[in-house]
Amino acid sequence: MAREKRPSLLDDAAGLAKGMGTTLRNFVRKPETISYPEQHKEVSARFHGRHLLLRNEDLTERCIGCELCAAACPSQAIYVKAAENDPDNPVSHGQRYAERYEINMIRCIFCGYCEEACPVEAVVLGPWYELADTDRRLHLHEGYVAPETGRAGPAQAGGRGGVIRGIE
């Protein structure tokens, strides 16, 4: 049976020098710390954050109630109840609209499948990552509204434009 080779003192010193080099290299770098409540971290354009349910520019619902987002959701966090659109008083451009649109943010895994499945790009995942709260009931969103924005421009909602549902 062969004996294992023990590292020599020279190997130990080389490992120690390598570790100290890493420490010194990071010691002189500028820190990446931010003052969180006052400053917010920039997120990439492909970041999947809070959901947005957009409206058309004429303030009609963009969602046509097809329920594809609910079918694509692997965690079953989305519930859509579709209703027929009244031709005299249309709510959306389609034949149907989402009478009830709910997202359970506790169950959501932010995969983006709902965004990909939507044929009219009514559901988008925005850049907001502050999701903590003290009450579980506040994580069930009906006709989800984005925080303090009003409109979804090029910086929000991936440049698709539109108006966020619930804010007029």
Distance of CA 116 to the CA centre of its chain: 13
Res 160: pLDDT: 40
Q: Name the pLDDT band for 143 (thresholds 50, 70, 90).
A: low
Residue with tokens 């009219």: 120
Element (H, E) at 140: strand 140-142
Is the model's pTM score more than 0.75?
A: no
CATH topology of domain 51-164: Alpha-Beta Plaits (3.30.70)
Mean pLDDT value across the chain: 80
Provide the percentage of residues in the chain whose pLDDT is more than 70: 82
Give the Cα separation of 38 and 150 in Å (integer): 21
Q: Name the pLDDT band for 168 (thresholds 50, 70, 90).
A: very low
- Burial call 7-38: b when 16+ CB within 10 Å, e when fewer: eeeeeeeeeeeeeeeeeeeeeeeeeeeeeeee
Average pLDDT over every residue of 144-160: 37
Average pLDDT over every residue of 93-121: 90
Structure tokens at 25: 């290299």
